[in-house]
Structure 1
Amino acid sequence: MDELIKGIVAPFVDHPDDVRVVREQNNDEVTYILTVNKADMGKVIGKKGRMASAIRTVVHAAGLAHHEKATLTIRE
């Protein structure tokens, strides 16, 4: 899942080497924490949060395919 998130985010940011994904397991829920360069936050969030919402939707759907409840948090 980490590679999926990096594969989605890295192509459209200016600093792809700064893209990091950390996985945190809490009982039956998995939270992926995406960290990007401060200059790339606007690109990751997108207009009116549409890009962030789309990435979260993909992560949630991929989590369901692996029988886990997956969420995404974005940090700079």
Structure 2
Amino acid sequence: MKEILETIVLNIVENKNNVEVLEKIEETTIVYEVKVEKEDMGKIIGKQGKVAQAIRTLIKSIGAKEKKKIVVKFVE
């Protein structure tokens, strides 16, 4: 799942070398922290947060198959 998230983010941002996806696994929850450059944050968030929400929805639906709660956070 981490690889899928990385692939999606790398295809959106300009500064591909400065993308980092951290994965924290808890009992029933997986938290992904996506770090991108400040200039790329707008592209990841999108207008009214639509791109970020679409990414979260996609990753959460994959997690639902594995009965895991998924949280995706975007940070600079």
Which bin holds the TM-score, normalised by the shorter protein?
A: over 0.9
Q: Tell me the alpha carbon deviations over residues 18-58 of structure 1, each in whole angstroms, 9 at most, x when there is no partner.
A: 11111112221111111111110000000000000000001
**Equivalent-residue separation in structure 2 for 1:12 and 1:75 (angstroms):** 15
- Aligned residues between the structures: 76
Runs of 4+ in 1 over 4 A off after TM superposition: none
CA RMSD of aligned residues (A): 0.9
TM-score computed with the length of structure 2 as normaliser: 0.92
The secondary structure found in structure 2 opposite 1:64 is helix
Show structure 1 runs of 5+ residues with no match: none
Question: Identity of aligned pairs, percent?
Answer: 34
TM-score computed with the length of structure 1 as normaliser: 0.92
Show structure 2 runs of 5+ residues with no match: none
